[in-house]
Chain A
Amino acid sequence: MLDYTFHWRPALNALPAMLDGALVTLQVALLSMVIGTAGGVLLALGRQSGSRVLRGGCTAWVEVARNTPALFQIYMAYFGLGSIGIQLDSYPALLLGIAFNNAGYLAETFRGGLRAIPPTQARAARSLGMSAPKAFRLVVLPQLFRAVFYPLTNQMVWAILMTSLGVVVGLNTDLTGVTQELNVKTFRTFEFFAIAAVLYYLLSKAVTLSARLLAWRLFRY
């Protein structure tokens, strides 16, 4: 029936190299989340500002990020910027693309989170004598954090999965990139990518589980 014998040995031997790749994957994902979160907050604030230019610019960023494929955004960073003289390597291009994407989605998340907190909360805090920044920091921000925690976790898992697109622009140090290099050398496509799939699954689950543990400790009320 199957004119193919599975050779798992080479794939399993390559595990250390793939684990190194997984580390790079995590690195890119984390960096993109940090930049993306900061960007998302700024975008969310920018959309509330008085300046029409700022509002328009931030909205444009968010809408482009959410209405075009992530791969397109990575392509733009890698190929598109080259047109105007900015030649990025695979790694920075991937990072920029994913961070751009993250910022757009997280801006919406923060906007929704802020809207979910009733203004009566800030009012109550001010009535107790707190200044506006203090009220924001001590009363609104913790609740905001709780509201966005789950979406943030989801976005992190997305980021990890998105790093696999690096291979399309030539990245060979992340998990998919490493796997592809091995694939090209040995043509044991199925075995190598199957192991990679398992590693990605474990990574995703690890992030989700740690987040749940963290939430349990932080949000015990």
Chain B
Amino acid sequence: MFETSVSWNDMLFLLQGAGTTLLITLYAVLGGTLLGVALGLARATAPWWLNAPLGAVLDVPRSVPLLIQLVLVNSFKSILGLPWSAFTVACVVLAIYTSTYCAEIVRGGILAVPATTRRAARSLGLTYRQDLIEIVFPLALRVALPSWIGLTLGVMKDTALVLWIGVVELLRSSQIIVTRVQEPLFVLSIAGAIYFAMSFPIGRLGARLERRWREND
């Protein structure tokens, strides 16, 4: 019926690649979110003379192709003589990349809390800190979470680029199999299906969350 040279070992190999993809995503999103929250808070509360240059700097990773950033950091780490693996370089670059987007998401979330609502909280006697924790944080989270989920999924897809600096993630794994098996359409489709399976359900969850929180307002 359907003849293929793709073996179950190959499938396992693909899944290992998917595992690498997810691991890189995890590190990148973890580091990027922590950094991004700090940066976002800074951007939302800083005076204009600090905000403007900060914004310009954060804009750079968004205006240069990720591929180029990976190559640059990879070569720079060699210049500096750092003992980083390609995997580490990938995680670092993607973490920085994630943090710049996360900063905007956090900033947007904080600014989305109406000033009048915060004023009502302060009028009740809540301190600046209490206002941030009890009012701003929960409300900003509702605005930011759907976008953050989208960002995470985007980063997962962007991990495909790290094959260029030699990391064997899902797409590279599929390429390796294709060089042996010579069935590019079939193997690539499986890889695509795996990507789809990793992305689609979480995307739907994010959309559902967004809808539920929006109608609660």
Chains A and B touch (C-beta atoms under 8 A apart): yes
Q: How large is the interface on A (under 10, 10 to 19, 20 to 34, 35 or more residues)?
A: 35 or more
User: Smallest CB-CB separation from B183: which chain A residue?
Assistant: A83
Cα–Cα distance between A79 and B182 once the two chains are bound (Å): 10
Q: For residue A84, which residues in chain B have a CB less than 8 angstroms away from its CB?
A: 185
Question: Is A196's CB under 8 angstroms from B188's CB?
Answer: no
Cα–Cα distance between A4 and B79 once the two chains are bound (Å): 6
Q: How large is the interface on B (under 10, 10 to 19, 20 to 34, 35 or more residues)?
A: 35 or more
Interface of B is mostly: helix
Question: Is B69's CB under 8 angstroms from A197's CB?
Answer: yes
Q: In this assembly, does A181 line the interface, its C-beta being within 8 Å of a C-beta of chain B?
A: no
Q: Which of B75-130 contact A (CB under 8 A)?
A: 75-76, 79-81
Q: Given B81, B157, B175, B186, which contacts A69 in the complex, CB threshold below 8 Å?
A: B157
Q: Given B63, B171, B203, which contacts A67 in the complex, CB threshold below 8 Å?
A: B203
Cα–Cα distance between A87 and B51 once the two chains are bound (Å): 50
Q: Given A64, A71, A81, A201, which contacts B196 in the complex, CB threshold below 8 Å?
A: A64
Q: In this assembly, does B200 line the interface, its C-beta being within 8 Å of a C-beta of chain A?
A: yes
Given A83-B186, A176-B68, also A71-B171 (CB < 8 A):
yes
User: Smallest CB-CB separation from B197: which chain A residue?
Assistant: A67
Most chain A beta-carbon neighbours within 10 Å: one of B67, B76, B189: B67
Q: In this assembly, does A164 line the interface, its C-beta being within 8 Å of a C-beta of chain B?
A: yes
Task: Report the stretch among A13-21, A40-48, A138-146, A186-194 that lies at the interface.
Answer: A186-194
Q: Given A68, A82, A193, A200, which contacts B195 in the complex, CB threshold below 8 Å?
A: A68
Q: In this assembly, does A204 line the interface, its C-beta being within 8 Å of a C-beta of chain B?
A: yes
Question: Is A164's CB under 8 angstroms from B65's CB?
Answer: yes
Question: Is A161's CB under 8 angstroms from B188's CB?
Answer: no
Interface of A is mostly: helix
Q: For residue A83, which residues in chain B have a CB less than 8 angstroms away from its CB?
A: 183-186
Q: In this assembly, does A80 line the interface, its C-beta being within 8 Å of a C-beta of chain B?
A: yes
User: Smallest CB-CB separation from A167: which chain B residue?
Assistant: B67
Question: Is A161's CB under 8 angstroms from B65's CB?
Answer: yes
Question: Is B72's CB under 8 angstroms from A68's CB?
Answer: no
Nearest 3 interchain pairs by C-beta: A83-B185, A164-B65, A204-B63
List 19 A–B pairs whose Cβ atoms lie within 8 Å, in order of A's numbering.
A3-B81, A63-B200, A68-B157, A70-B157, A75-B171, A79-B178, A79-B188, A83-B184, A83-B186, A161-B64, A162-B65, A164-B67, A168-B163, A190-B75, A196-B68, A197-B69, A200-B68, A201-B60, A201-B64
Chain A residues near B (Cβ < 8 Å): 2-4, 63-64, 66-72, 75-76, 79-84, 157, 161-162, 164-165, 167-168, 176, 189-190, 193-194, 196-197, 200-201, 204-205
